[in-house]
Amino acid sequence: MIVIGMLKTKYTDFETEIFGVNTHFRVLETSTHLFIYISQNAPETVLYTSIISDFLYSRKIKKDHKHVVFCSLKEPQHLSKVTLTLLHLLS
């Protein structure tokens, strides 16, 4: 966590394997925004940006923050594991 005056900023950057595919997570949280970047760096990926944001709002995770999400996954089946990892990270 980085503290500048009264402002707190949290940054998390890590990689994990999800169904055998390296998955990169980057999360930056400021006092007003939550920036989330998730990528599997596969040749063909599908964006799941709004699904992740809707999931976080439905679980009331950081609901007072504006969510800016980029999520690019190789397979739609990976979405459930990614959301669980993100939920664990942000709880």
Model pLDDT, residue 14: 92
d(CA 87, CA 91): 6
16, two tokens? 């994990």
pLDDT mean for each 10 residues of the chain (91 residues): 65 92 94 92 81 87 89 90 90 80
pTM to 2 decimal places: 0.83
Residue in the structure block whose two tokens are 């709004």: 50
Residue environment code for 68-81, b if the CB has 16+ CB neighbours within 10 A, otherwise e? ebebbbbeeebbee
What confidence score (pLDDT) does residue 2 get? Answer: 55
**What tens digit of pLDDT does each residue of 49-58 get?**
888 888 888 8
Rounded distance between C-alpha atoms, residue 4 and residue 6, angstroms:
6
The whole-number pLDDT of residue 5 equals 57
Q: Are 80 and 63 in contact (CB under 8 A)?
A: no
